[in-house]
Structure 1
Amino acid sequence: MKSPDPETLGFRWIVLGASFLVRFLMFGTLFSVGVLYVEWLDEFQTSKGDTAWIGSLATGSSLLAGPVGSALISRIGTRKTAIIGGFVMSLGLFISSFATNIYVLFATYGIIAGCGGGIANLAAVVRLTDYFKRQRAFAMGVGSSGVGLGAFAFTIFQQYLLDAYGWRGCILIMSGVTLNICVAGFIMIHPRHHPEFIRIQSTDENRNHSSEDLSYPVKIDLHESNIPQNNENANSECSKRPENEFLIRRESSKAAQRKSISKDANRRKSSFFQKVMFRMKFTDQTIALWRDPVFLLLFTSDFLSWIVQFVPYVHLPERARLLGISPIRSAIIVSSMGFAGAVGKLFFGGICTFFQLNPLRTFTVAQILFGISTLMSPLCRTFEWLLLYGITFGFLSGSYALMMVIPADLLGQEKFSAAYGFLLAGEGIGVYLGPPIAGWITDSSSSYEASFYCAGAVLLASGLVLMLNPCVQKWKSR
């Protein structure tokens, strides 16, 4: 009997819920850093550019922690990796509550908490692939919606904690909240450990054992058998059987041991050569990928986009405060971005699926509108207009869901894994750089207008770059 299909297990929906919860807690905590950013400016009296590094390091580290997470998953498994990631993130937040300067926060909140969250996030994504095959696109969409919904919920929640307990108490409570990532990780068992799988595997093993027992020599006790005892030939054969059986088993054991040693040696040799060939192949694929003009076009656009995408989450609350808007209303603006982002991911993924729109063209139009809206954002000076900008920004940022499809469409499925890995690395670097650069521009110009004009120009450039794709495709085909 074959093991059941994981997509027939009702438990897969619980795993999907656990994966959603991991991203809800992890990204919700990091993407609501803007409300803490305002408090850190007042507490430490540091520049906007320097202080912005805290949130940038946290989110950037979560993206760049992918290789570490992959190594841990290969070494100890997905479930344990998720639990460790959640514990490390919680530990980083706990230590951050005792920070005496922003440099301590760089290490604790930015690197430790960020890397822990990134490791847990990767484990949550990988576990979904074990349970969902045909419904994988749907599962990924539901799981990734936790990013926006987490930002929506935790921005207001952390603002409430700040008003009640201060920033140190807020982070201390959040360290306890993020421990629930460990609980979610504990739930994410592998399909083969599901009781239904174990039951069927045990049945199969019992059947195999029973069939194997029939092939072994059997020692017969004449006093308990129904064989006539007056058969002298049978008695003589049965009296010799224990000795023959012992000799046969000893020779079989020696032969099996020699065969096992030979197999181990061959396995080590093949493993060594496989590793060498894999590394050579990986190197060739990497070189070929970076020589591909289409990939370079995608990487450039994605990198430019992610220089800006985290900027409003960090700087918009402070900009709203300078315009005389209350902290709770500033938190509502950032929350609206998170909620609109979740809606945008479902919208852009849905229209491309059901209306069969070209993902690259749809993404290009969204990126251009993305840039135009940010270029116009300095004109927004009231709560209502900033709220409208936040919703527009979040909704258009949801088009990023298409970047999980575009590389495979343009480069081929065989290059998708390597290409998407490099795109994530570029995004992490972009997140590292964007908010601090925006802060330094604000410090030098004494206004947020210049930084948001620059951010809009960069976003617009990321969309316009993609319009070169037809020309690049023609040049590549020559």
Structure 2
Amino acid sequence: MILLSCCVTLFLYEVTLKSLAVLLPTLKDQFETYTWVIGTMISLLTSVRDLTGPIVGILASNINNRVLGMLGGIVIGVSTVCASFGYSVYVLSLLLSVINGISFALLLVPGYALLAQYFDTHYSLAIGIVYASASLGLMAAPPVAQLLLDTYGWRGTLLIIGGINCHLILSGSLLRHQQQVDSSITATESLQNTYSPLSHTSDDCEAFGWQSNSLKSSTFDRINAFMKFSGLDLFANLSFLATSVISTSMTALFTGWIVYFIPHCLAKGLTPFEAAFLATASGFSNLIGHVIYVPLLSNNLISLRGGLYFSGIVATVALLADRYTSTVTTVFISNMMLLLAIGIEYPLCDVYMKSIVEPNSLAKAYGWRMGLSGLVRIIPGFVLGWIYDHTGNYDAGFTFLGAIQAVGVLAIAADHMRLKIAGETIS
């Protein structure tokens, strides 16, 4: 049931996001504004969702996840329907970006954490299935959203999407409260687990010459308890930081691609039908990436870090080569490579993070990783729109996305070198 909940939630999230991207040119003309304004509004949905992650991670560890999920589903359905009656960009931003972003976090953060807890031995397969549902959303959204737009206009399209999103209430009802696992046992059983929980007992204090009831010990214990409660102790794990950087760079470039790929195709002179076809084909390539990584990883044909290296480099090359594509064929090849790489990279980040974080901290780990992503997700929405408004094309913008992905590759390479120098096990 948890797997089904995650699949439905991520599918409808991608449908909502990609549908808004299809509506971008229409909304720009409707409200007589700049491209970067609508692009920033759409990317704000992903940014707010991720920035809310750390708070939701703490809530999910202490509050019934089913309540959080159902609340998020109700709010998403109602706010999307209300957005169909919006009369300004500010109203749409509040309803579609801020409110929906927070609500999607209420569903996704607990879902990811529960998935990692309940699928301890088959997690790579489970997360692959979840991300495959996101690919199906990417495939389905462009043609359906374009059909709804041509038939009912942008207001009717949002009204229908809002009705569909009400299914998220049922998705939230499938969540459960997180299990509390004995970290002393699971930390040794977890695959290549390098996470060391911060703990400080009265015996430790006495070993350092402190009294357990002293002011210094009391202050240290309170700080330690706060770090543990908030999940800030995760940042002492440098491998967690490296994984967060590559995940952040990947989600940022993917947000830019989702929001601006169809306008990018139109700017290259392709027809709306060709642009929708290429978006659907790219979604299929993304689905293939989510599927093939499981046997590759299970049969030890690739390592976690090797897969991250390969997918990151391929994505970077595809984005840097984008400015030299101008026909349907070349755009097709370039974006098939890009989305295939992203399809492999996304689940690998989750599998790798699960191997370095103790089970009781997974919700907070996902929350903080999403929070870091939220800080940069909004940047592509603004930058690519601003570049188009000043140059008339997105070529430089997609080169910028390639540079973002290169930062993630450098982060995982730096952590690889650190572990090699320290003589630690490299996965």
Give the TM-score normalised by the residue count of structure 2.
0.80
- What is the letter of the counterpart of residue 86 of structure 1? G
Residue in structure 2 matched with residue 440 of structure 1 by the alignment? 386
Q: How much has 1:317 moved relative to structure 2?
A: 0.9
Q: Give the direction of change, closer, same or farther, for the CA distance of 1:319–1:468 in structure 2 (3 Å limit).
A: same
Conserved? CA contact 2:22–2:146, under 8 Å: yes
Of 128-137 and 333-342, deviating more is 128-137
Q: Give the direction of change, closer, same or farther, for the CA distance of 1:134–1:358 in structure 2 (3 Å limit).
A: closer
- What is the letter of the counterpart of residue 63 of structure 1? D
Q: 2:72 aligns with which of 85, 95, 100?
A: 85
What percentage of aligned pairs have identical amino acids?
Answer: 22
Q: Give the direction of change, closer, same or farther, for the CA distance of 1:335–1:278 in structure 2 (3 Å limit).
A: farther
Q: Give the direction of change, closer, same or farther, for the CA distance of 1:467–1:67 in structure 2 (3 Å limit).
A: closer
Number of residue pairs aligned between Structure 1 and Structure 2? 384
What's the CA shift string for 1:330-379, capped at 9, x where partnerless?
22222223332222122223312223521112211210111001111122
Q: How does 1:23-422 map to 2 (within 5 A)?
A: 23-70=10-57, 73=60, 77-128=64-115, 132-188=119-175, 276=222, 279-282=225-228, 286=232, 289-290=234-235, 293-398=238-343, 399-409=345-355, 411=356, 413=358, 417=362, 419-422=365-368
Task: Give the distance between the partners of 2:47 and 2:416, measured in 1 at CA.
Answer: 32
Give the TM-score normalised by the residue count of structure 1.
0.72
Q: How much has 1:461 moved relative to structure 2?
A: 3.5
Residue in structure 2 matched with residue 431 of structure 1 by the alignment? 377
Residue in structure 1 matched with residue 395 of structure 2 by the alignment? 449
- What is the letter of the counterpart of residue 314 of structure 1? V
The one of the two structures with greater contact order (alpha-carbon pairs below 8 A, sep at least 6) is: 2
Does the residue aligned with 2:321 lie in a helix, a strand or coil?
A: helix
Q: How much has 1:19 moved relative to structure 2?
A: 3.2
Conserved? CA contact 1:49–1:438, under 8 Å: yes
Q: How much has 1:290 moved relative to structure 2?
A: 3.8
Q: Give the direction of change, closer, same or farther, for the CA distance of 1:363–1:15 in structure 2 (3 Å limit).
A: closer
Q: How much has 1:283 moved relative to structure 2?
A: 7.8
Task: Give the distance between the partners of 2:178 and 2:377, measured in 1 at CA.
Answer: 35
Larger radius of gyration: 1
Task: Give the distance between the partners of 1:135 and 1:181, measured in 2 at CA.
Answer: 25
- What is the letter of the counterpart of residue 325 of structure 1? L
Q: How much has 1:162 moved relative to structure 2?
A: 0.5
The runs of 5 or more residues in structure 2 that have no matched partner are 180-217
Q: How much has 1:412 moved relative to structure 2?
A: 5.6
Residue in structure 1 matched with residue 202 of structure 2 by the alignment? none
Conserved? CA contact 2:250–2:405, under 8 Å: yes
What's the CA shift string for 1:186-223, capped at 9, x where partnerless?
3556799xxxxxxxxxxxxxxxxxxxxxxxxxxxxxxx
Task: Give the distance between the partners of 1:113 and 1:448, measured in 2 at CA.
Answer: 28
Does the residue aligned with 2:302 lie in a helix, a strand or coil?
A: coil
